[in-house]
Chain A
């Protein structure tokens, strides 16, 4: 009986998730060994950036002009929080970035807002705020060059950098 209850609950949750169509972008799948479910690098030193990339993924993505944390982002950040708990001496800096389709100063502020949004999630997941600093690069440091929607989606990001 509980099994079918769980199934029903799961179905209901699934329906709920689908009906409230997220305004946030699904986010591109990061390529290579850094992505979630990707091939982890067996030689990454514990507590290193590579280790974080392999275990959790180092970045989350945002919709245009938004700083909402998407469900996918939340999953990545949940893994990051797990990883941070495993290495309590590691501190990180969350870098907030924007695509080029906004004005420079507003983008500096938006990048900061995105970085703070990520920090808030990690803190809510139990990571002490003192371990997390934030920095915004606005639109100054694109990850991917090109004036295309695909590049823009990859540039609207917050990256967790091991200090």
Chain B
């Protein structure tokens, strides 16, 4: 298997043109603090990006629409109704008439343009303006194939998000998940992948084999997941570009709960033997397996810290299902969960500062976070059955799945993806064509 650094499908060449305004502003900076809990969404105007030819104008409308939807979904921005706009941005270098935008109470304005180059590629430029300071905050230009316009929109949305919040964005990402259909006792499950806004959804497996828990490689166009395709449950690698699948490791018996290391070179997983489940790491280059835990218990759901030095995992070695942290080489593990109830599915934030988890207490399920030393436990949401959080690459948003109860006739039991901010607000359903579970968020595609 080629371990080269993968190029994400639909590469975007960024031509960085930062257009700075002439005068420095003494105005209060246009900024959202996303850690401060309940936020009043910032009113932002996103007129369609003008273009000359009909296809350019269409792309300009589409791109502005996707940027607008991304920003709205973050819960931090309130895109204004285009029908309220006074100034018509019709040409590519129209200077904003700021009083027109102030009049409709826009605090931020995004203008842009779309042009087709001689080689057929699309050139898209955007500028973000502080309406009250009458100042450009940022601006970039991008070139790509016309079919790739969505990536440009997400990259623009990330730039706007970053400039206003000071945090990295998360819109230029994908979600891999399990698409589900059928009655609860005859569920058909398929690996599926989509852009984080639900576009470009496609199914990767045919549903004949039970598949579970897919996770992205951080460095290659690959997924690791669990499949019953060979009859018994085993961990596989799936190449997103070629569709090729291969078994990870040469373990007799069940392997499950796989995750990549941050450098993409190893897969850590659980391996069951004689009823005991322990953690192993497989080096994808050498194919050598290293045992990481040697308990007589269930050790599962391992997850590396973003610097690769530690692993958090789920174990009942102490008598109940709890969270532990150990060195990535194995060895002594320290328990970090101490509240009432049981804890599972630990996932380390890409920022390194928190571990998210599923908690089961008093018959309810919770999604929560705690610091890697176990302190500061905070529960974000509670429901009948929610589980399996995954972090957006900026460590500020979590996605998980929610299953509703079913009745004796098999009605109910719908299973959907949800996202929620780290503050516990902006909880929303992630729309998928069918039922969905086991989401995993990709890194930023760039």
Contacts and interface: CB of A to CB of B under 8 A. Distances in A.
A112 interface: yes
Interface string A98-119: 0011111110111011011100
Contacts of A112: 254, 272, 275, 277
A135 interface: yes
B28 interface: no
Contacts of B272: 108-109, 112, 136
Given A112-B277, A135-B232, A145-B183, A103 B270 contact: no
- Interface size band for A: 20 to 34
A146 B274 contact: no
Contacts of B257: 105, 108
Given A100-B385, A104-B438, A147-B406, A109 B360 contact: no
B408 interface: yes
A127 interface: no
Given A105-B270, A117-B275, A145 B298 contact: no
Contact of A105 (B275, B344, B384): B344
Interface in B282-302: 298, 300-301
Interface string A127-143: 00000000111001111
Contact of A145 (B212, B232, B388, B408): B408
Interface in B198-217: 210, 212-213
B241 interface: no
B314 A141 contact: no
A20 interface: no
B358 A103 contact: yes
Interface string B404-417: 01111110110000
Contacts of B210: 137, 140
B387 interface: yes
Residue of A102, A108, A113, A148 with most partner-chain B CB within 10 A: A108
Contacts of B344: 102-103, 105-106
A108 B233 contact: yes
Given A109-B270, A135-B254, A147 B407 contact: yes
A151 interface: yes
A151 B257 CA distance: 26
Contacts of B363: 101
A139 B298 CA distance: 16
Given A108-B254, A112-B275, A142 B270 contact: no
B116 interface: no
Nearest to B313: A105
Given A104-B345, A143-B185, 18 more contacts: A100-B385, A101-B363, A106-B300, A106-B301, A109-B270, A112-B254, A113-B277, A113-B298, A115-B275, A136-B233, A136-B272, A142-B184, A145-B406, A146-B407, A146-B408, A147-B405, A147-B406, A147-B407
Interface of A: 65, 67, 100-106, 108-110, 112-113, 115-117, 120, 135-137, 140-148, 151
22 contacts: A102-B321, A103-B301, A103-B344, A104-B213, A104-B388, A104-B438, A105-B270, A105-B301, A105-B344, A106-B314, A106-B316, A106-B321, A108-B212, A110-B298, A112-B275, A113-B275, A113-B277, A141-B185, A145-B410, A145-B413, A146-B410, A147-B407
Interface of B: 183-185, 187, 210, 212-213, 226, 232-233, 254, 256-257, 270, 272, 274-277, 298, 300-301, 314, 316, 321, 342, 344-345, 358, 360, 363, 384-385, 387-388, 403, 405-410, 412-413, 438
Complex A-B, nearest 8 residue pairs according to Cβ-Cβ distance, in ascending order: A116-B275, A147-B405, A103-B344, A146-B408, A109-B277, A109-B298, A145-B410, A105-B257
